[in-house]
Structure 1
């Protein structure tokens, strides 16, 4: 039969639940084929509900109902009804009552990895967003908060470890030789924060003393044999706990904090109260198995999930439309943590790269939605870059407008007002406005309006009056469902750089004393004008310093201005931005030249900058590594925006890499040698920065004429003492058709074939190769023992890496890449709809490509959308992408 259009859920239709759940007692008897769940719920009608006659309708999926009781009385079949998605009790007592249900589910058959599932002998749960309904019948919504007590019974040999939320309160043996552990979480929580883990696990343990002197036990559980790879994660956890106390005054509230690492997980990690469940790639690390990037990600994600204890758990979301309230805010918090732990400028560059690569295209395409969406068909599809990354940018803008001290006052008031509540975006903004003494009335549009504002800036210097006049305007293009946009409140940090390369103190008309060298201007109308006085010479404007707003900026700068800012801007972000703009302008001219056969200007300024930076005596290696890298092929496609020719982009970028490598070869070789890190491996920012710059140099040297780059990469691979250098060399070789490539891939495989996380890197490197036979290689690797469609990490490493990170080969002119990925989407949809829907996102920008590719992508999208029996996850993405 044909798909029926699923009904969307709309924010405007929100109503409080007709019933409240006050206490939950779960008695869970584990079994791979038939786990038995006895749920006892203390409930009552919600006095805030206007529907006093509504039946009690509980969510439930993939469950076998065995028994229903109210106040101890077994209900006959005529007193309730069951369908594929719910259990409805037709009549309930007045006042408080106790509902009991007994259900069964089959964890070993749960390939969707939602609810309770079994993976590699470990029972695990994932309940966000709506997985709890696969464990028992329940009001599975964020605003239904209750105190949980959970008793887990399992086999003493295969499940010696039994974990859930809160503190352990009781344990013992059962009459049939099994054992149980009982957990109590005293803090009311919604069902999406419930967690259960059971299996034969090892663990490492530590202690943390809070700012009030309480001692908290810290445990990280892993598969046995991986205990030696948890040390960094544990130290990162303690750093995060201390930082949250110092920066936001937030202290941990239970006696124990636990993390469990599993290999099959749909997400990066999950913040369940007191029991965080992690994808093991974000916990396990040793110098020989993890890269610098892995260590940085572990630190950031550990912090993110821990910070959720307050921004997500103690204060949760009223409904899923408010998802940015916990995710955007917590991403901002983890970004600040990483900035304090590592390099703030490099972190800012990294975050903006991510925003532009993933969120800007989302805002500019058919899947555009506000940070707080108006509607959805499947909530799993709204764990997006808009909710997370753009949501974080909105918090950062408020922080910029308020300053650190006033922002902290606003956050303190937010915690004071809403602790223990399911809150809304309005609650958050009102607390920030009151605590920080800000008017956020207009700023709220950022949460309701989708799209990326475009800011046009132009300046005029009056030499006679010694003034500089800056004009800015804003426009936001129509997005699905929003044709007309009201002006945003856009904070824009501005500096003026004099001919001597130094910042000029900024004094606006009407001011007497010179101001700071960076000023935040507030563009609130469609246009705005600011006049600075006492400007001695014509400056070059440095606009949007630190990227103070998620906008597209056209600062009307000439090439010589960009070159000047590349060399002199005191704002590290804008110095990097000037280099990226210069390179982008040059590359787009080269792409056009490749199309029409003309010869573009060579533009040697970027190559000279690379040479000069690498030759300087004092450099910040991590920052230099960022600034010398060219925009990616995906970034160039987004900037060109229409009739994109991926072959021309690849040709142009490779030509520029060759020109830079040729011009700066001596400096590249010298820096490559100087940046070698000797001694024991350390993942800290200093050593990681040196390795980053050294490997960036290696990438350029491989593009230089001759075989010296290949020789250096092969030598680095053979002699590498850490995974960072090993992977960097292997990645360089992966793009070159040479014997050294095959030898390195084979050697790497032989050494690491029994380590699933390292093999994920091996799969991804081959999937991202620019060589012509990559698609055939990817197809072959789907049959390799290291790959399985049932593990999301494997799918992401091989198929998603090919579809999303290999623009040249995915967009094969004959459409072979499109057919392959579309086939895998349909195959995955039967196993794991969440992962399938995310893979389908590779097609989201199909309209921007040249006509032939556009038609081929559209054909595959229509084939997917027209397939019978699609999940809601894939149906929603396919239909919206085609709309």
Structure 2
């Protein structure tokens, strides 16, 4: 009996078998490519296999081109949903990427400095490649906010507040990309970005716009920007010196900045008259900001960032043990670091455990970290 009027049963069976086998091969190939692409964001930064590393580098270049095209399209269609556009253009954070990369490596570790540099390199590359688009998008957001300010009654409504929040979110994100440092940027582009940043600070309508401009200028590492940086920091402090909540923002802004002298700035701010070492919120803003939100400087190769944290834990353990225990958790990142960093942190943890008057809460946190090394 024939299953097909023109094809014999044995030939039809072989044909189906070959077709099924071919389909299975395609499925396996697609799954392999899918898994390979999923591994790229985790492994192209640091891979123990040289061949796979260079292969992933080539793939990463193509991914960057795809992301570049996608970012360009987002900037051109920002009118639909500015808040969504801002969130789509935001780069993944260090806290999100670090454990993913560490877990994907055979050594179960990740170099925090390389990771931070990679994120900043991507940010500066996008800021340079899409500079005109970011300028246009920033100008559009600023014009929309100006229109809202002409209708104060509408701006006070929920819809007005929602639109204003969306525009400001995209506005500050564009400014962040515009202020990035890139070798191929022209002096004219640098000057234009600095002028825009200064104008936003001078004519800010609210604290969100003020902090957006401050964050962009304080994080900039170009030597030409340092005079403006100091000027704005002093002006900001002078205007809000009597407001503790805003001063906490001022302290955190400096402690989290990716500035090469961030640790020196934090040490100087510990003696600043506005810093209250007995207030947990001030401690978390300055010390906590440096430890938990400034990985580039906290994980310094000389180990001074780790030593600074251990000293602060001992200082605050005598005043407020709960604050000290919370700060000590900054060492929990040790599980994803290399052996050199583990040895340095292990030495600092041993120093804490040898402290006779160490509180119970801090001791338990330190002991748990020591056991994980």
The alpha carbon displacement at 1:775 in A equals 0.4
Match of 2:111 among 629, 645, 669: 645
Q: Secondary structure at the match of 1:786?
A: coil
- Residue in 1 that maps onto 2:172: 695
Contact 2:324 2:362 in 1 (8 A): yes
Q: Structure 1 residues 647 and 770 mapped into 2: Cα distance closer, same or farther (>3 Å)?
A: same
Match of 1:558 among 34, 45, 50: 34
Q: Secondary structure at the match of 2:275?
A: coil
- Residue in 2 that maps onto 1:727: 211
Match of 1:811 among 283, 290, 299: 299
Q: Structure 1 residues 846 and 675 mapped into 2: Cα distance closer, same or farther (>3 Å)?
A: same
Q: Distance in 2 between matches of 1:742 and 1:669?
A: 25
Compare the two structures and name the one with the higher helix fraction: 2
Q: Distance in 2 between matches of 1:850 and 1:771?
A: 24
In the alignment, does 2:40 pair up with 1:585? yes
The alpha carbon displacement at 1:710 in A equals 2.6
Q: Distance in 1 between matches of 2:234 and 2:360?
A: 41
Question: Comparing 797-806 with 633-642, which one deviates more in the overlay?
Answer: 633-642
Q: Which runs of 5+ in 2 are unaligned?
A: 1-18, 103-107
Q: Structure 1 residues 864 and 617 mapped into 2: Cα distance closer, same or farther (>3 Å)?
A: closer
Matched ranges for 1:568-607 at <5 A: 585-586=40-41, 588-591=43-46, 600=58, 601-602=60-61, 603-607=64-68
Compare the two structures and name the one with the higher strand fraction: 1
**Superposition RMSD in Å:** 2.9
Matched ranges for 1:749-828 at <5 A: 749-828=237-316
Q: Secondary structure at the match of 1:644?
A: coil
Q: Structure 1 residues 585 and 714 mapped into 2: Cα distance closer, same or farther (>3 Å)?
A: farther
Q: Distance in 1 between matches of 2:346 and 2:32?
A: 36
- Residue in 2 that maps onto 1:870: 358
The alpha carbon displacement at 1:587 in A equals 7.2
Q: Distance in 1 between matches of 2:286 and 2:71?
A: 33
- Residue in 2 that maps onto 1:627: 88
Contact 1:716 1:726 in 2 (8 A): yes
Q: Structure 1 residues 585 and 734 mapped into 2: Cα distance closer, same or farther (>3 Å)?
A: farther
Matched ranges for 1:106-255 at <5 A: none
The alpha carbon displacement at 1:557 in A equals 6.9
The alpha carbon displacement at 1:643 in A equals 2.9
Normalised TM-score (structure 2) = 0.77
Q: Distance in 1 between matches of 2:313 and 2:32?
A: 43
In the alignment, does 2:116 pair up with 1:655? no
In the alignment, does 2:75 pair up with 1:614? yes
Number of residue equivalences: 313
Q: Structure 1 residues 829 and 618 mapped into 2: Cα distance closer, same or farther (>3 Å)?
A: same
Q: Which structure ranks higher in relative contact order (CA pairs < 8 Å, sequence separation ≥ 6)?
A: 2
Matched ranges for 1:270-309 at <5 A: none
- Residue in 2 that maps onto 1:714: 198
Q: Structure 1 residues 624 and 740 mapped into 2: Cα distance closer, same or farther (>3 Å)?
A: same
The alpha carbon displacement at 1:696 in A equals 0.8
Contact 2:78 2:85 in 1 (8 A): no
Q: Secondary structure at the match of 2:315?
A: helix
Deviation string 1:736-787 (CA, Å, 9 cap, x unpaired) is 2422211111110111111111000000000011111110110110111111
Q: Structure 1 residues 742 and 592 mapped into 2: Cα distance closer, same or farther (>3 Å)?
A: farther
- Residue in 2 that maps onto 1:362: none
Q: Distance in 1 between matches of 2:78 and 2:101?
A: 37
- Residue in 2 that maps onto 1:672: 138
Normalised TM-score (structure 1) = 0.34
Matched ranges for 1:176-575 at <5 A: 558=34
Q: Distance in 2 between matches of 1:810 and 1:685?
A: 37
Largest Rg, 1 or 2? 1
Q: Secondary structure at the match of 1:675?
A: helix
Q: Secondary structure at the match of 2:179?
A: helix
Contact 1:813 1:852 in 2 (8 A): no
The alpha carbon displacement at 1:830 in A equals 0.9
The alpha carbon displacement at 1:686 in A equals 2.5
- Residue in 2 that maps onto 1:157: none
- Residue in 1 that maps onto 2:347: 859
Q: Structure 1 residues 879 and 556 mapped into 2: Cα distance closer, same or farther (>3 Å)?
A: farther
The alpha carbon displacement at 1:673 in A equals 1.1
Q: Distance in 2 between matches of 1:831 and 1:629?
A: 39
Contact 2:45 2:118 in 1 (8 A): yes
Q: Structure 1 residues 587 and 712 mapped into 2: Cα distance closer, same or farther (>3 Å)?
A: farther
Q: Secondary structure at the match of 2:346?
A: helix
Q: Structure 1 residues 811 and 870 mapped into 2: Cα distance closer, same or farther (>3 Å)?
A: same
Deviation string 1:245-282 (CA, Å, 9 cap, x unpaired) is xxxxxxxxxxxxxxxxxxxxxxxxxxxxxxxxxxxxxx
- Residue in 2 that maps onto 1:838: 326
Q: Which runs of 5+ in 1 are unaligned?
A: 1-463, 470-537, 542-554, 563-580
Q: Structure 1 residues 834 and 557 mapped into 2: Cα distance closer, same or farther (>3 Å)?
A: farther
Q: Distance in 2 between matches of 1:588 and 1:749?
A: 43
Q: Distance in 2 between matches of 1:787 and 1:775?
A: 16
- Residue in 2 that maps onto 1:49: none
